[in-house]
A and B are shown apart, each in its own frame.
Chain A
């Protein structure tokens, strides 16, 4: 047996072990035994017909390669999930949902603690992370307030700056 043929057989065996790993023993062993039998039959048949070992190795490699998708699909068909795992997943999903709702409620409270709307603010519920900021009114005329001992004095605004001096060439 040449190195290429030995390598091809090892690769097919290895791949079969990989995709049948952690399966029910009867199904796993049956598939492995069937592939093992096929490898032996192909090798013997090709040898009887006088095919070169390299050719047999190529045949094995290509048969493996073109069947990978079906191997994976076959494996997926035989995946069984126990009822206990499904129940645990459902409990975990329910707990995660409750935590999310609590987080959402506290986020809304943090965004607008003083606002107690009469109705539900739909926009806030839709976009809880982006507080809706109302547009501030335009600034009024500048006024300065100064507080002196309980009285408020309105000071006039400072005078506008003097116009720049006219250029000497005018």
Chain B
């Protein structure tokens, strides 16, 4: 029995993404555009930090919890890299994430929703009182 099962069900609308999740998907798409199909958590944190020109990177808990949520929603897929590689390079193993097709679609939906909301806001401002 999972204690937070009820919370998960009522906290948000199904299919909707919070801003951090949208930003992670955007960063993942940007990394893929730069030739990195797979990326690890720190790469995402760095890309998010560069995009927002913020010196402080996303907190450990916030970042990895969001990555876990996205993976559960099917927007990201992850795998642990071959243990021989980190052993050879003398570093800890990386968990590598990939943006799925569902993640692409969710990102497109989020952009469309943002555009619609912006257009509606502008129209409301321009409308005569």
In contact, B95 and A34 (Cβ under 8 angstroms): yes
Q: Does A30 have its Cβ within 8 Å of any Cβ on chain B?
A: yes
Assess the A62–B56 pair: CB atoms within 8 A: yes
- The answer on a CB contact under 8 Å between A77 and B8 is yes
| Contact status B57-A67, CB under 8 Å | no
| A34 neighbours in B (Cβ, 8 Å) | 41, 64, 95
The segment out of B23-31, B86-94, B101-109 that lies at the interface is B86-94
Nearest A residue (CB) for B63: A67
Pick from B8, B60, B92: contact of A67, CB under 8 Å: B60
Task: Decide: A63 and B64 in contact? CB cutoff 8 A.
Answer: no
Complex Cα gap A36–B2 (Å): 27
Also in contact, A31 and B64, with CB within 8 A (given A38-B42, A80-B1): yes
Contact with B along A11-38 (1 / 0, CB 8 A): 0100010000000000000110111111
Per-residue interface assignment for chain A, residues 46 to 83, with 1 indicating a CB less than 8 Å from any chain B CB and 0 otherwise: 00000000000001001111111111111011011111
Task: Looking at the assembled complex, report how far the CB atom of A130 sits from the nearest CB atom of chain B, in whole angstroms.
Answer: 39
Asked whether A45 is an interface residue with its Cβ less than 8 Å from the other chain, the reply is yes
Does chain A have a CB within 8 A of B53? no
Cβ-neighbour of A79 out of B3, B93, B95 (below 8 A): B3
Of residues 31 through 66 on chain B, the ones whose CB sits less than 8 Å from some CB of chain A are 40-43, 45-46, 56-65
- Could you tell me the distance between the alpha carbons of A73 and B3 in the complex, rounded to whole angstroms? 11
> Residues of B with Cβ closer than 8 Å to A?
1-4, 7-8, 40-43, 45-46, 56-65, 68, 80, 91-95
